[in-house]
């Protein structure tokens, strides 16, 4: 193999696939990145057996070939090179990759590319088109609510379902629930649902560029995998087996109080309250107070720390319904407010012992449910 490419393109490609490199595997090849010529381009690929990330960069190919080399070594080396042309030359006999750039020369010992796991190809015929900006926002609004421990594996994933022209993503860790719906351009004949690891979706969102128009989702037969095709980047993820809990029964169908607040003001108040709520499981009191005919309606967010002190923030709100005092995890509240981009947000409550519902005002596609906390906890 003899290939030339630009340092900045190679560095960017290695950064993208590096997210999939295994750091703990007993198989040395999983700590490597695959470099292979492919139709006049250089293909880079890495896997930890849970996800595979492949990307293609522009290159001048003189001789075809492939090799795997330690990902960290190559990435660190390329990152230290000047932004000039990089020449890659493989010695097939010794499986050594020679790298030359400007006045720098290096040799990296590799492992035969035949040792690298096979990577499934995207299905160009049976696939679902999703607008890239829509998918990126869906992931940002849902994946953070997934569980981070493996006690219940299904909860570490995101329920992703398709029915006709609608796609729904949902995630919960048992304390909060995020649900996001979106329209897809195509039409799904047979409704189906899968559970995608939240970590894989986070990686998908990270590699979606601002100028990418669409992501194509497909599933290879009998492999329990999902493939995201993003032009010059393909991510393959294992799916999570099991049944995602039916979350529809816990979604409140009514409310006694609805407060509309400025998203930025509410976010700032929750973030400030969390400074004093950390030692009490991030618990803060949220009081919704309608107008009494003299003063304006408002919300008060209050947090108290026996060690540090306390904090009270009062923000304007448009309130419809009864006054209510309810305790929430303000860390969770801040996280959901971080992914809402509408100027105003609605907080709907029924009682201090029932879940609160957060909705962006003017956007009916997203809903977030957060369980109440106990005062003094």
Mean pLDDT of 237-261: 94
> End of a domain among 87, 115, 143?
115
pLDDT digits (tens, 9 = 90+) for 194-223: 999 999 999 999 999 999 999 999 998 888
Alpha helices in the chain (DSSP H): 7-17, 71-80, 132-142, 198-207, 263-277, 330-337
Residue 108 has pLDDT above 90, yes or no: yes
Q: Are residues 212 and 257 in the same domain?
A: no
Is 178 part of any domain? no
Same domain, yes or no, for 258 and 227? Answer: no
| Structure confidence at residue 125 (pLDDT) | 84
Characterise 177 by phi-psi region: left (phi > 0), alpha (psi -120 to 50), beta (else): beta
Q: Which domain holds residue 191?
A: 128-170+184-247
303 and 258 inside one domain: yes
Model pLDDT, residue 293: 73
Q: Last residue of a domain, which of 196, 212, 247?
A: 247
Confidence of residue 376 (pLDDT cuts 50, 70, 90): low
Residue 187 has pLDDT above 90, yes or no: no
Same-domain check for residues 220 and 153? yes
| Contact predicate 231/212, CB 8 Å | yes
CB 101, CB 299: distance < 8 Å = no
Query: How much of the chain exceeds pLDDT 70, in percent?
Result: 99
Cβ distance 218 to 229 under 8 Å?
yes
Is 23's pLDDT higher than 90? no
CA distances from 202 to 13, 128, 208, 332 (A): 18, 19, 10, 18
Average pLDDT over every residue of 254-267: 97
Q: Domain for residue 264, yes or no?
A: yes
Within-domain flag for 121: no
Count of structural domains, the chain: 3
Look-up of token digits 């090179």:
81
First to last CA, the chain: 63
Q: Measured between alpha carbons, how far is 260 from 46 in angstroms, rounded to an integer?
A: 46
Task: Supply the pLDDT for residue 126.
Answer: 87
Select from 202, 224, 247 the last residue of a domain.
Answer: 247
User: Taking a C-beta distance cutoff of 8 angstroms, is the pair 20, 46 a contact?
Assistant: yes
Tell me, what CATH number does 280's domain have? 3.10.150.10
- 299 & 223 share domain: no
Mean pLDDT of 324-330: 96
Q: Which of 263, 316, 326, 252 is nearest to 290 (CA)?
A: 316
- Which pLDDT does position 69 carry in this prediction? 98
pLDDT tier for residue 372 given thresholds of 50, 70 and 90: very high
**Is residue 376, in this structure, part of any structural domain at all?**
no
- How far apart, in whole angstroms, are the C-alpha atoms of residue 340 and residue 361? 10
179 located within any domain: no
Q: Binning pLDDT at 50, 70 and 90, where does residue 254 land?
A: very high
The pLDDT value given to residue 25:
81
Does one domain contain both 237 and 256? no
The dihedrals phi and psi of 349, each to the nearest 5 degrees, come to -135, 155
The whole-number pLDDT of residue 375 equals 63
Question: Which DSSP category does 374 fall into?
Answer: -
**Is the pLDDT reported for residue 245 higher than 80?**
yes
328 pLDDT exceeds 70?
yes
Residues 289 and 347 grouped into a single domain: yes
Residue 361 lies in a domain: yes
pLDDT at 377 over 70: no
Report yes or no on 236 lying in a domain.
yes
Residue 186's pLDDT is what?
A: 83
272 and 238 in a common domain: no
- Tens-place pLDDT, residues 282-313: 999 999 999 877 778 999 999 998 888 999 99
Instruction: Judge whether 90 lies within some domain.
Output: yes
Burial of 24 (0-12, 13-18, 19+ CB in 10 A): exposed
162 and 100 together in one domain: no
């Amino acid at each position: 193999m003899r290939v030339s490419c630009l340092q900045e393109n190679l560095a960017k490609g290695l950064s993208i696939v590096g997210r999939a490199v295994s750091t703990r595997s007993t198989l040395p090849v999983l700590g490597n990145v695959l470099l292979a010529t492919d139709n006049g381009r250089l293909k880079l690929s890495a896997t930890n057996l849970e996800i595979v990330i492949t990307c293609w960069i522009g290159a001048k190919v003189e001789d075809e070939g492939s090799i795997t080399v330690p990902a960290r070594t190559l990435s660190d080396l390329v990152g230290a090179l000047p932004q000039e042309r990089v020449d890659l030359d493989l010695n097939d006999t010794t499986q050594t990759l020679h790298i030359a750039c400007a006045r720098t020369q290096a040799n990296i010992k590799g492992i035969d590319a035949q040792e690298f796991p096979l990577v499934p190809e995207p299905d160009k015929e049976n696939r679902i088109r999703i607008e890239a900006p829509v998918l990126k926002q869906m992931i940002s609004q849902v994946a953070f609510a997934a569980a981070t421990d493996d006690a219940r594996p299904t909860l570490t994933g995101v329920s992703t379902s398709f029915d006709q022209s609608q796609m729904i993503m949902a995630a919960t860790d048992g304390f909060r629930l995020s649900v996001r719906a979106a329209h897809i351009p195509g039409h799904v004949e047979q409704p189906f649902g899968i559970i995608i690891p939240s970590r894989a979706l986070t990686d998908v969102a990270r590699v979606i560029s601002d100028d990418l128009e669409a992501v194509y989702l497909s599933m290879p037969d009998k492999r329990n995998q999902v493939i995201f095709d993003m032009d010059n980047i393909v991510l393959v993820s294992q799916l999570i087996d099991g049944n995602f809990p039916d979350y529809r029964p816990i979604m409140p169908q009514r409310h006694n109080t609805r407060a509309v607040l400025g998203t930025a003001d509410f976010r700032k108040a929750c973030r400030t309250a969390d400074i004093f709520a950390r030692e009490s499981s991030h618990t803060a009191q949220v009081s919704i107070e309608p107008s009494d005919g003299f003063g304006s309606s408002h919300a008060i967010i209050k947090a108290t720390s026996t060690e540090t002190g306390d904090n009270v923030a009062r923000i304007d709100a448009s309130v419809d319904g009864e006054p209510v005092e309810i305790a929430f995890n303000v860390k969770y509240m801040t996280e959901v407010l971080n992914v809402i981009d509408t100027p105003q947000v609605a907080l709907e409550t029924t009682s201090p012992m029932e879940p609160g519902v957060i909705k962006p005002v003017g956007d009916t596609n997203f809903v977030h449910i957060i369980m109440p906390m106990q005062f003094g906890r």
